[in-house]
Amino acid sequence: MLLISLLFRKRKELKTDIRSLDLVDIKKFCQENNMKPYVSNQVYSWLWNNFSSSFSQMSNLSKSNREIFNENFSINKITEDFEERSDDGTIKMRFKLYDGNFVEGVLIPQNTRMTACISSQVGCSLSCKFCATGTMGRTRNLSTGEIYDQVVAIANKCKEVYNLPLTNIVYMGMGEPLLNYRNVIKSIHFITSSEGLEMSYKRVTLSTSGIAKMIKRLADDNVKVNLALSLHAASEELRNSIMPIGGSNSLDDIRDALKYYFSKTKRKVTYEYVLLNEVNDSIKDAENLYKFTKHIPSKVNLIEYNTVDGLGFDRSSDKNTDLFMNYLDAKRVNVGLRRSRGKDINAACGQLANKK
């Protein structure tokens, strides 16, 4: 009996998640199984417009067609496992994946601006020294459907709690989006197109630690979203010491990639810069940042550091923060300070690590 149970479980695991298929693939499957041509469009709509979690929900399909799809495919939906609410209204949601892994997403309310911060990987391989997610390592990439499900779940939570629609999406959760390029770009398609949520691409921001060749690919593929670079240090030695991403991702490589990106897209880049006490918050650091950012139209978001136990970094002092900002202001840099949100529940920038 145990053997039969194990074999059934193995067979179930081998099913392909139908959301990994394109519409063309589903049409081909329908044709091979003698289904009417329009069935593929019905299934596709149920998956991406109606967020179906099972084939039995697809009520305009015949019972026999539903059974054929169910025998051959799975729909690996995420499920909410845990939720925590901050004093400032931020909501952190932990999601369980079909294989037992977990990721986190965050709803950040700011007046009528409602932002979903979503993850693209289980963990992260880049090991930034000040980031809790970087201590986890990378388990795997998220699928297109798993990324999309986070947005849908957070949008529903936004409506439920605040009675407001989701307005913005940032790929700033767990993982490096450009190391899961195909699935991230496909998820953006469903978020912004009539096949899915139909949100404006102007409301979507993709944040990267600086994968130079993939920044160029974004430009070549004309991905119409906002690009943010997690810079955090503008001298090579310092950046390598706190962000050891290595390879062909030196500051020179990244600068060249960003110049290429702007030449192709004419879109401004946002630089994210977390201020670490007596690490990257000196006037010399501000000067390096100015020199790095002046080559293309851009803005700088300075970020208050959110302390993570055991990592050994502290938030920059108010004095150093003010001096840093004043230097950039004097250089006519478009700079702002982003205040921490959700840090009391480990939901703020750099704190996501699947902790309850």
Catalytic residue IDs: 104, 349
Give residues with Cβ within 8 angstroms of 135, minimum separation 6: 127, 311, 353
Map residue 215 onto helix, strand or coil. Answer: helix
- Closest CA relative to residue 288, chosen from 235, 237, 325: 235
Map residue 116 onto helix, strand or coil. Answer: strand
Stated as kind and residue range, the H or E segment containing 264 is helix 251-265
Map residue 228 onto helix, strand or coil. Answer: strand
Sheet containing 298-304: order of strands? 79-85, 91-96, 102-110, 113-117, 168-171, 204-208, 226-230, 269-275, 298-304, 335-338
| Spatial contact of 186 and 195, defined as CB atoms under 8 Å apart | no
Can you tell me the distance from the alpha carbon of 143 to that of 164, in angstroms, rounded to the nearest whole number? 27
Stated as kind and residue range, the H or E segment containing 85 is strand 79-85
What does the block give as tokens for 156? Answer: 């529903």
Strand partners, 83: 93
